[in-house]
C-alpha cells in the first residue's frame, strides 16, 4: 500500500440521511463513525466529504430515478428535515479545511467538481470510507478505478444496511479488483500514511 501526502481521503455520505433518524437508516453508521472521525480528524486537509442530496420532486431526476423517488417520497428534500442532508455533526466541524461536495446520484464521480478538485491537487490515490458499502461507496470506488486512481477501502470505516451485500462487495474488491482496489483497516492506513 502506497499512501503519500497527495493521497486523498474520500468520505462518502456520512450524513443524517443514513443515520437512525433518517429515512434510510444504516445501522452500522454510528459504529463506524469513530473510525471515520479518526481518519478525517488526522487529515482534514486531505479529506473530501460527499453528501447525497435528494430532489424536491421525482421529476427533477432523469429516467429510473423518477421511479426510485416515487417509491421513496419520504426521502425527498421537500419532505425531510434539511438537517438530515448535512454531514453528521462530528464530521461537519472538520469542513473546512475538509471539502464538501454534493452529489445527486450514487457515484461521486458524476459530479465534475470532484474530478476537477482531485486533478487540481494532483491526487495520486484515494482512501475511501462512508456509507453504504454496496451502493454509493461501491459506485464511487468503481468510478475512481475507471479514472485510474489506486483505491484503498477502509474496511472498518464503511457500512451498509445489509450484512450480506457488504460481505459480497468486500469479496469482489479482494478478488475481481485486487489489482486496483486494496482493502485495509484504519490502523493500517494510519501506520502507512505520512
The 10s digit of each residue's pLDDT in 31-46 is 999 999 999 999 999 9
pLDDT (average), residues 51-58: 95
Residue 61 has pLDDT above 80, yes or no: yes
Q: Say whether pTM exceeds 0.85.
A: yes
For the chain, domains (ranges, CATH) are 7-54+86-192 (3.40.50.850)
Q: Which CA distances in Å does 117 have to 7, 46, 154?
A: 13, 11, 22
Q: How confident is the model at residue 194 (pLDDT cuts 50, 70, 90)?
A: confident
Helical ranges in the chain per DSSP H:
29-42, 64-71, 89-92, 112-120, 136-146, 163-174, 186-192
CA distance linking residue 101 with residue 179, whole number of Å: 28
**Average pLDDT, rounded, for the chain:** 94
Residue 10 has pLDDT above 80, yes or no: yes
Residue 123 has pLDDT above 90, yes or no: yes
pLDDT (average), residues 154-167: 92
Residue 181 has pLDDT above 80, yes or no: yes
Q: What is the DSSP letter of 87?
A: B
- The predicted pLDDT at position 1 comes to 64
Q: 135-156 pLDDT, tens per residue? A: 999 999 999 999 999 999 999 9
Residue 5 has pLDDT above 80, yes or no: yes
Tell me the β-bridge partners of 87: 15
Amino acid at each position: 500500500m502506497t499512501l503519500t501526502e497527495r493521497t486523498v481521503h474520500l468520505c462518502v455520505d456520512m450524513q443524517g440521511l443514513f443515520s437512525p433518524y433518517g429515512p434510510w437508516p444504516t445501522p452500522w453508521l454510528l459504529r463506524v463513525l469513530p473510525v471515520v472521525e479518526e481518519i478525517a480528524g488526522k487529515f482534514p486537509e486531505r479529506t473530501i466529504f460527499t453528501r447525497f442530496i435528494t430532489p424536491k420532486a421525482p421529476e427533477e431526476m432523469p429516467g429510473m430515478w423518477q421511479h426510485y423517488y416515487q417509491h421513496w417520497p419520504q426521502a425527498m428534500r421537500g419532505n425531510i428535515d434539511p438537517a438530515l442532508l448535512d454531514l453528521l455533526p462530528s464530521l461537519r466541524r472538520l469542513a473546512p479545511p475538509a471539502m464538501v461536495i454534493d452529489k445527486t446520484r450514487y457515484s461521486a464521480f458524476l459530479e465534475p467538481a470532484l474530478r476537477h478538485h482531485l486533478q487540481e491537487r494532483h491526487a495520486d490515490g484515494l482512501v475511501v470510507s462512508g456509507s453504504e458499502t454496496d451502493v454509493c461507496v461501491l459506485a464511487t470506488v468503481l468510478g475512481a478505478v475507471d479514472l485510474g486512481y489506486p483505491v484503498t477501502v477502509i474496511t472498518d470505516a464503511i457500512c451498509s444496511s445489509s450484512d450480506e451485500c457488504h460481505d459480497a462487495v468486500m469479496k469482489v474488491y479482494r478478488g475481481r479488483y485486487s489489482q486496483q482496489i486494496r482493502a485495509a483497516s484504519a490502523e493500517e492506513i494510519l501506520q502507512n500514511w505520512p
